[in-house]
Amino acid sequence: MKTIYLNKGNLAAYQESASSNVMALGCFDGLHRGHVKVIQSAFLEAKERNVQLSVMSFYPHPKTVIGGKACFHYLMPQSEKEKRLCELGVDIFYLVEFDKDFAGLSPQAFVQEYLIKLGVIHAIAGYDFSYGSRGAGNMKTLKQDSGDRLEVTTVGKVEYKGEKISSTRIRQKLLEGHVEELPNLIGQSYEIKCVCAGSVLAPYSNYTLPTPGRYEVTVYNNRNSLRTEVDVNEKSIMMTREKQIPSWLEGNITIIWNRLVKAEKDQSGEFFYKYTKRESSA
């Protein structure tokens, strides 16, 4: 997969070298089940047309530019997103620099400059995707804004228990500590990469830590894995004092978040920890 960091300075050069492709559009933060459905739909369309599959995403997140959010809870860094997109069969990943100038483009200008001139012949996105200044363009206007030069496929809402699966919903579950529910939204348990030094696990940037508390987790590297417990505060993760730290647990590791361990008091007033119930995937 080729990753292209796209901005107004290099746009013309990539327009000149572009070939026909089917493009999936979206922010794709966390690559949850709804995102995967969009990309898989684009993959099948590209295969049928015998053209490349491209994905266009935006960074920083539009809410940080349009909404003025100085602190935004990303679910995964770009490097992890690239790895997952490659696994999904993507040929070209366009990561567009989202700034005020880009946010101010008219819907027609966005479609012309970032889709048609980049060789897009078929655009695929979720039903709630919007584009152009103030989000004036949407999936109902995309074909018209292209002057009928694009084919358009809209992917419907992907739900779990009657609610839309979204990055916002996943962030909320993390900030509430409900990590055991995330496989039903993401398609797998939530994972983050860390650097481990003794009992301290320092997470890489652009991940969202679950709310402070104690969690049952699985930690692993390229050779070993361990099911254990960690304590989370606002910025760091610590191995619990009760658990022995194996000698191999150093350097770059991955944490799989299994479930929250709730602190409760016994009859004598002493705290003890109790696992939260796993939510069924049915």
Report residue 236's pLDDT band, with 50, 70 and 90 as the boundaries.
confident
> Hey, where are the domains in the chain?
2-160, 189-275
Look at 206 and 244; give whichever has higher pLDDT: 206
Taking the C-alpha atoms of residue 146 and residue 259, their distance in angstroms, rounded to an integer, is: 47
Alpha helices by DSSP H, listed for the chain, are 11-17, 33-49, 62-66, 78-87, 100-103, 107-114, 142-145, 167-176, 183-186
Six token digits for residue 190: 């939530």
CA atoms within 13 A on the CB side of 249: 22
Mean pLDDT in residue range 123-149: 96
pLDDT digits (tens, 9 = 90+) for 118-132: 999 999 999 999 999
Domain range 2-160, CATH class: alpha beta
Q: Are 54 and 92 in contact (CB under 8 A)?
A: yes
- Rounded to two decimals, what is the model's pTM? 0.89
pLDDT digits (tens, 9 = 90+) for 1-51: 999 999 999 999 999 999 999 999 999 999 999 999 999 999 999 999 999
pLDDT digits (tens, 9 = 90+) for 74-84: 999 999 999 99
Phi-psi region at 28: left, alpha or beta (left = phi > 0; alpha = psi -120 to 50): left
- Does the structure show a pLDDT above 90 at 70? no
